Chains A and B, each alone.
Chain A
Amino acid sequence: MNRSTIDLWVGVFVVLGIGALLFLALKVGNLATFSSSEAYNVHAKFVNIGGLKVRAPIKSAGVVVGRVADIRFDNESYEALVSMNLDEHYQFPRDTTAKILTSGILGEQYVGLEAGGDGVMLKHGDRLRLTQSAVVLENLISQFLFNKAAEGKDAAK
């Protein structure tokens, strides 16, 4: 086989290989979701984080605005300290509420942000003071049962 044919085929091969990588990066991996853009870090304390994991999405109004960077246990307040990286493009007021929510009935847990009314925006290193913990199924059920029991008692009277 002569040189130019080999060169041609190697060229085709390299183009195909790079094309496959680009396909994986763009179409499969979705490069567009801010893995490249700047992020700022805020943290929040939760009484219970349920099944929240590192790298879980942070959503506001259903739009992904960041990722959970780190989860630790705070030894002083006995609460979970969740550190979050938020995309620089999205600014939130300082009194934003963070809730731990679940997508779907068996879905993964994520942090939902609900903007407050403060004029001052969150900065890097700030702490979200208003938080709402994950709903733990057992607590929910026991609450429901207690309510039912209480209702039953009222009805018996």
Chain B
Amino acid sequence: MPFAQLREHARGRLERLGNAVTSNVWRLGFASRFLFYMVLHSGTAMRRFRLTIAEIYFAGVLSLIIILVSGLFVGMVLALQGYETLQRFGASESLGVLVALSLVRELGPVVAGLLFASRAGSAITAEIGLMKATEQISAMEMMAVDPIARIVAPRFWGGVLSMPMLAALFSAMGIFGGYLVGVQLIGVDAGAFWSQMQAAVDLRNDILNGVIKSVVFGVAVTWIAVFEGYDAVPTAEGVSRATTRTVVTSSLAILALDFVLTALMFTGGKAA
């Protein structure tokens, strides 16, 4: 009976779709409750701040090299490319503005966030996932130690505190790289480079908004990382999948959030 078969087929499709939607919504709800619980139980992470400091070391200090080197190169490339375009319009003095604004507003928070997600986010997920796989988290629960307060919250706060500093370092390094290429190599006037930059970059509109972006990205990336680790299927394969998901999801989250934040912050000064 082809009709009954077709109906069965359609029913199976619909069921799968419904299942995918419910499980995703369920995961989202679980992740939100997880975040809520984690923030509520951050007392330990703050009282025993040494736990958080150790996580700042793992998430922040160990990401320093990649952030600084990438920032330098991104800034240098920006200066080279920007000069090519600007000198056509005889506006090569605006190179400083171009480099500084692109870094402070966009590239600093976004690229630092992407690097942070792949460098620190994946490590957090792998660590928590492996703790779960080797039943260290169950062991903690047996000892009446709350694993979220002891394991997850310090990692979360370590990441959230590290990210704005990494983004600021990325931007500063990038501007330095732009200075090296623009002024030292190409020969743009140093005074024009800095003074035009200072005239165009606004403390509140550009720098503060960049910092807000990096804080938002830091929360998003670390939240996704600790949640994926905590929610990982406790097998070798499950941990590897969770790590991959962390990088993919948090990269997408950064780009999507960046669009939303940019639309809110920099709409031609009309909103302000």
Question: What residues of chain A have their CB less than 8 Å away from a CB belonging to chain B?
Answer: 3, 6-7, 9-10, 12-14, 16-21, 23-25, 27-31, 33, 35, 53-55
**Cβ B171 vs Cβ A20 within 8 A:** yes
Contacts of B197 in A (CB 8 A): 28
Q: Does B272 contact A (CB under 8 A)?
A: yes
Counting from the closest, the 6 A-B pairs by CB-CB distance are A17-B165, A30-B198, A20-B172, A20-B168, A29-B203, A20-B169
User: Which single residue of chain A is at the shortest CB-CB distance from B71?
Assistant: A20
B169 → chain A closest CB, angstroms: 4
Question: What residues of chain B have their CB less than 8 Å away from a CB belonging to chain A?
Answer: 50, 53-54, 56-57, 60-61, 64, 100, 104, 162, 164-166, 168-169, 171-173, 175, 194, 197-199, 201-207, 210-211, 268-270, 272
Contacts of A24 in B (CB 8 A): 104, 168, 171-172, 175, 207, 210
Question: A18-B165, A20-B165, A55-B269 known; A13 and B207 CB under 8 Å?
Answer: no
User: Which single residue of chain A is at the shortest CB-CB distance from B195?
Assistant: A30
User: Which single residue of chain B is at the shortest CB-CB distance from A108?
Assistant: B200
5 A-B pairs within 8 Å (CB atoms) are namely A6-B54, A13-B64, A13-B162, A24-B207, A28-B197
Question: A13-B165, A24-B171, A54-B272 known; A31 and B56 CB under 8 Å?
Answer: no
A113 → chain B closest CB, angstroms: 18
Cα(A31)–Cα(B164), bound, Å: 19
A-B pairs with beta carbons under 8 A, tally: 88
**Cβ A29 vs Cβ B172 within 8 A:** no
A1 → chain B closest CB, angstroms: 8
Besides the contacts A17-B168, A20-B165, what 10 more A-B pairs have beta carbons closer than 8 Å?
A: A10-B53, A10-B61, A14-B56, A17-B164, A17-B165, A20-B168, A23-B172, A24-B207, A30-B198, A53-B269
**Cβ A54 vs Cβ B60 within 8 A:** no
Question: A6-B57, A29-B201, A30-B198 known; A54 and B165 CB under 8 Å?
Answer: no
Contacts of A54 in B (CB 8 A): 269-270, 272
**Cβ A12 vs Cβ B199 within 8 A:** no
Contacts of A12 in B (CB 8 A): 61
Contacts of B173 in A (CB 8 A): 20
Q: Which of B169, B199, B272 contacts A17 (CB 8 A)?
A: B169
Contacts of A35 in B (CB 8 A): 202-204
**Cβ B203 vs Cβ A31 within 8 A:** yes
A5 → chain B closest CB, angstroms: 9
A111 → chain B closest CB, angstroms: 16
Cα(A103)–Cα(B260), bound, Å: 33
Cα(A20)–Cα(B207), bound, Å: 11
**Cβ A10 vs Cβ B206 within 8 A:** no
Most chain B CB within a 10 A radius of its CB, from A10, A18, A30, A33: A10
Question: A20-B165, A55-B269 known; A28 and B56 CB under 8 Å?
Answer: no
**Cβ A10 vs Cβ B60 within 8 A:** yes
Most chain A CB within a 10 A radius of its CB, from B165, B173, B201, B272: B165
Contacts of B199 in A (CB 8 A): 30
User: Which single residue of chain A is at the shortest CB-CB distance from B164?
Assistant: A17
Cα(A7)–Cα(B56), bound, Å: 10
**Cβ B57 vs Cβ A25 within 8 A:** no
Cα(A102)–Cα(B204), bound, Å: 25
**Cβ A10 vs Cβ B56 within 8 A:** yes
Contacts of B100 in A (CB 8 A): 28
Most chain B CB within a 10 A radius of its CB, from A9, A14, A21, A29: A29
**Cβ A14 vs Cβ B165 within 8 A:** yes
Contacts of B50 in A (CB 8 A): 3
A2 → chain B closest CB, angstroms: 11
User: Which single residue of chain B is at the shortest CB-CB distance from A36?
Assistant: B203
Contacts of A17 in B (CB 8 A): 60, 164-166, 168-169
Question: A23-B172, A24-B171 known; A16 and B201 CB under 8 Å?
Answer: no
User: Which single residue of chain B is at the shortest CB-CB distance from A14?
Assistant: B165
**Cβ A16 vs Cβ B206 within 8 A:** no
User: Which single residue of chain A is at the shortest CB-CB distance from B175?
Assistant: A28
